[in-house]
Amino acid sequence: MHDHSAVHEHAACCGNATDTLARAERLCAERDLQFTRLRRDVLEAVASEAKPLGAYDIAERLSGQGRRVAAVSVYRALDFLTENGLVHRIASRNAFVSCGHQHGDGAGLVFLICRTCGSIDETTSPEVDDQLDRTLAKAGFKPSSRILEVEGECGSCSGREPSP
């Protein structure tokens, strides 16, 4: 069903897809939102990859076997999922990853994008948030949302020799 030959071996991978789905289901029940089949399938597709997926990739994965999922439907599902914090958009890649954490809604996320294996990790850093808030206040700027994405090499890949 899905390719495991790649380099990544993140905890965030496949094993957690079911967790993510369960959490989503709970959250939607709490907020009285519909966790429909399409939304579930889109979330599952995203959650089963540590790499970010494009909307068209997702559409392709969900299509086949007599089912056709158009990209536009995927976008709508992704809008829903991002609004509810279940999925994050990676602006620098025009792609999406499932949210691995249960952070408070307001938490400032840092995305770590590995150039070598293509995987994405997310962290939070209150210290960075603090300093950033201070910087913004000094500039007289009232933030409402922010994007912080770092490209580089992840721990697993820098431990490994670069492939020849």
Binding site for a second copy (CB under 8 A): 91-92, 110, 112, 114-115, 121, 123, 125, 127-128, 130-132, 134-136, 139-155, 158
Angle formed by the axes of helices 71-83 and 55-62, to 10°?
A: 110
CB of 49 to DNA, least distance (A): 14
Binding to DNA by CB under 7 A, coded x per residue (else -) over 46-85, reads: --------xxxx----------xxxxxx-xxx--x-----
How many CB atoms sit inside 10 A of residue 98's CB? 28
Burial of 65 (0-12, 13-18, 19+ CB in 10 A): exposed
Asked whether 63 and 56 are in contact (CB, 8 A), the reply is no
Task: Give the tokens for residue 114.
Answer: 């590995």
Q: How far apart are CA 67 and CA 12, in angstroms?
A: 28
Residue 70 interacting entry, from a second copy, DNA, none, C-beta within 5 to 8 Å by type = DNA
Distance CA 133, CA 164 (A): 43
CB of 101 to a second copy, least distance (A): 13
128 binds, among a second copy, DNA, none (CB under 5 to 8 A by kind): a second copy
Q: Which is nearer to DNA, 56 or 101 (CB)?
A: 56
Of 8, 39, 61, 88, the one binding DNA by CB under 7 A: 39
Contacts with DNA, residue ranges (CB under 7 A): 33-34, 36-39, 54-57, 68-73, 75-77, 80, 94-95
